Structure 1
Amino acid sequence: MTQTEQIPAEAVIHNACILDGEPATFAEETADTWIAIAQGTVTARGRGDGWRDRAASARGDVVDAAGGFVAPAFVDIHCHGAGGASAEDGAEAIDAILDVHRAHGTGRLALSFVSDTVDGLCRSLRAGAGLVRERAMVMGLHAEGPFLSPDFKGAHAPEVLTSPTPGAAEAILEAADGTLAQITIAPELPGALDAIGRFTAAGVRVAVGHTAADFELTAAAFDAGASILTHAFNAMPGIHHRAPGPVLAAVEAEHVTVELINDGVHVAGPVARMLHELVPGRLALITDAMAATGLHDGSYHLGSLPVEVKDSVARLVTPDGSPGAIAGSTLTMDEAVKRAVAEVGLSPFDAVQAASLTPLRAVGGVLEAGDSLHAAGGTVDAGSLLAPGMPADLLLFNEDMSIRSMRT
């Protein structure tokens, strides 16, 4: 099989190591497990030679994993675009975004919108809500702003940044119409803690990010209901021995999921390793991908801001031509997972969990039998994404964690 070849709709995959399940119940990473799929659903899985009887009675193909890994398709909860298109471009551009990320192993994603005026964001959310209903791969929406700190704005237009008001919160909730998976808020802004409570009450996961908040204020935001840290270490104070900052506040709050852009640029490998060790089971790999993802170096936009991509690193274009702030990434989830194993030192199991079950849980994703996955207002009760009855959205890896084939 080639890297992008599709696994047959009906198949038995054997001689595999299935990277799926709760850590306490997961067996050693040995290639003696098998999984059977039919009509888009996992029908059975087991260990040893049981696959032979299943293969003999089934009509599908038999796939020898050759000692490789089988894992759930990736879930990316922070993705702005790809293929020359951005989330703000609406229905006309959505297929370009989805095609790129699907080809790199992502089965579901949340469309992320950069900061805009509240009215502009609401227009984008109304269009995005339709995409959630029309495209199974779009599991929800993410508003990254405009309730962000001007001191840690990153690649967000400063003129649209504002503090949350009750009216703005209600307008955003109405526009998203139940499809808002998460919203990023800087908790030091006036009205932020009240807004966190309102969004949380509506079933939206609130993320702390693009913030100047100290440890205590970030902890207060998590106490108020926030449950995600937006791209840890980026657009926030770092860790200081007398000023622990937002990252360690997230470490101390055990209900908080910590996002990581694992492209080797946003966060250095040793720091990413430390973060994984500090929040075991709570690390979510994200791409923060922008329009250049899947394309070449050159000139692009992130929201209203011009971006230049050089050596696959996206940075804002400054008036004097000097490199500006990092502007999203050109990362794909398969590269994030491969780096997590090869450079950060995660086990294949931990890397896959950080790219599938953990982010899904972070946004309250709902995964059901058949092929239904949605965000906002739900929970994931299953400890396994590839248990019998679950959607057969899966990836087959080579031993080096490159994707051999997929079914998404």
Structure 2
Amino acid sequence: MRVAGRVVTPEGVIEDGEIVIDGGLISRVDSTSAAHDGHWIVPGFVDIHVHGGGGYTFTTGDADEARKAAAFHLGHGTTTMLASLVSSPFELMRSATERFAPLVDDGTLAGIHFEGPYLSELRCGAQNPEYLRDPSTEELTELVRAGGRAVRMVTIAPERAGAIEAIKLLVRLGVVAALGHTDATYEQTLAGVAAGATVGTHVFNGMRPPHHRAPGPVFAMLGAPSMVCEFIADGTHLHDGTLAFATGVTGPARAALITDAMSAAGMTDGDYELGGLAVTVADGVARLAGKDSIAGSTLTMDAALRRALGAGVSMVDACRMASTTPAGAIGMDATVGAVRAGLRADLVELSEDLRVVRVMRGGEWV
């Protein structure tokens, strides 16, 4: 199979490009003299932080809902995703791990991301404070054993008691340790980085704001060479100027666009639920009912890409941030995340105005 268009690779745009696909893999990327319709061909998006979409959620641990949420985001170009859960009782965490493990085995999901419950009460945002607690190495060990390779990432507030030990354990177990929903100081954040944390969970959001005399977690994460920083590019969580500044600091190699989407993504305004908390969506913005706290987003990755471009990020860098960098953050860059020979043929065809035309996963148009 051959796919032609304006092909975006990590190295640049091939204006008249052709991708040759064999056995579900990209076998070659060439220039061509063949005519094409001017559409963009970009790598399938990799969303490492998403709670649901299309009216369905990952947060209850229901496998059927998870398949439908994954299918919704696949239609928007996300060919690789982590199912993100929110702070929950351990029993739900374990049951979700067991139910989602087969979806990881069959490729529906790339893994599970536990965003909590080891988070700061002060910076918990739309997390249910009833379930917050100090990190438990016993719980983490049991979850990893229950899920095999399913547990891919865990977000922890590094200032909590036992956090450093938990981060070191995750690293030993081959699980990505992320820092987020934190009131940590600059020094406490860097202690988490030194322990092995490599991802900053939706940087700026759910954490102590930076101050020039107390830089806190934001400056620590933006400045740490080993940290990939997640950014929610929806214009609500981050001003476009903030997004442009932050990605200018990190560069595309350390910036990962995420959706942080909840079940309301792709749906109408109204009343929803996230982790047992009531959420109201108005004008496409999700907030805890009756409060000002943002509760996830209604974003999709194609819209995040467009937002990044609107903020001044180049097409090549935006695609790296939407695909290549997040794939590397979860250890999957040898398989997915770029238009490159030898990788899985995950592609998104975008119209000239950057709308999804069709999506390919593993060499098949879906």
TM over 0.5: yes
Superimposed CA distance per residue, residues 80-123 of structure 1 (whole angstroms, 9 cap, x where no aligned partner): 11122211242221232022101111101000010012232112
Q: How does 1:279-358 map to 2 (within 5 A)?
A: 279-280=250-251, 281-317=253-289, 322-342=290-310, 344-358=311-325
Q: From 261, 273, 295, give the equivalent of 2:232.
A: 261
Report the identity percentage. 37
CA distance in 2, matches of 1:304, 1:323: 15
Does residue 98 of the first structure (1) align with residue 70 of the second (2)? yes
Does residue 34 of the first structure (1) align with residue 18 of the second (2)? yes
Question: What residue is the counterpart of 2:2 in the other structure?
Answer: 11
Give the SS at the match of 1:346. Answer: coil
Any conservation in 2 of the 1:42–1:389 contact (CA below 8 Å)? yes
Tell me whether 214-223 or 115-124 shows the greater mean CA deviation.
115-124
Task: Give the TM-score normalised by structure 1.
Answer: 0.84
Tell me how far 1:390 sits from its aligned partner.
Answer: 2.4
Any conservation in 1 of the 2:8–2:14 contact (CA below 8 Å)? no
CA distance in 2, matches of 1:198, 1:100: 34
Question: What residue is the counterpart of 1:386 in the other structure?
Answer: 339
Question: What residue is the counterpart of 2:359 in the other structure?
Answer: 406
Q: How does 1:238-249 map to 2 (within 5 A)?
A: 238-249=209-220
Any conservation in 2 of the 1:69–1:397 contact (CA below 8 Å)? yes
Superimposed CA distance per residue, residues 236-256 of structure 1 (whole angstroms, 9 cap, x where no aligned partner): 012211111111111221110
Any conservation in 2 of the 1:11–1:38 contact (CA below 8 Å)? no
Question: What residue is the counterpart of 1:120 in the other structure?
Answer: 92
Equivalent AA in structure 2 for residue 266 of structure 1: H
CA distance in 2, matches of 1:325, 1:186: 19
Superimposed CA distance per residue, residues 279-328 of structure 1 (whole angstroms, 9 cap, x where no aligned partner): 002110001111111111111110111111111111111xxxx3331111
CA distance in 2, matches of 1:367, 1:294: 31
Question: What residue is the counterpart of 1:61 in the other structure?
Answer: none
Give the number of equivalent residue pairs.
359
CA distance in 1, matches of 2:341, 2:148: 32
Tell me whether 389-398 or 206-215 shows the greater mean CA deviation.
389-398
Any conservation in 1 of the 2:61–2:92 contact (CA below 8 Å)? no
Question: What residue is the counterpart of 1:377 in the other structure?
Answer: none
CA distance in 2, matches of 1:76, 1:288: 9
CA distance in 2, matches of 1:118, 1:390: 36
Any conservation in 2 of the 1:338–1:400 contact (CA below 8 Å)? no
Tell me whether 114-123 or 102-111 shows the greater mean CA deviation.
114-123
Give the SS at the match of 1:251. Answer: helix
Equivalent AA in structure 2 for residue 406 of structure 1: V
CA distance in 1, matches of 2:244, 2:302: 18
CA distance in 1, matches of 2:298, 2:324: 23
CA distance in 1, matches of 2:156, 2:342: 37
Give the SS at the match of 1:207. Answer: strand
CA distance in 2, matches of 1:137, 1:89: 14
Equivalent AA in structure 2 for residue 11 of structure 1: R
Rg larger for: 1
Any conservation in 1 of the 2:44–2:78 contact (CA below 8 Å)? yes
Question: What residue is the counterpart of 2:364 in the other structure?
Answer: none
CA distance in 1, matches of 2:219, 2:148: 34
Tell me how far 1:231 sits from its aligned partner.
Answer: 0.3
Does residue 46 of the first structure (1) align with residue 18 of the second (2)? no
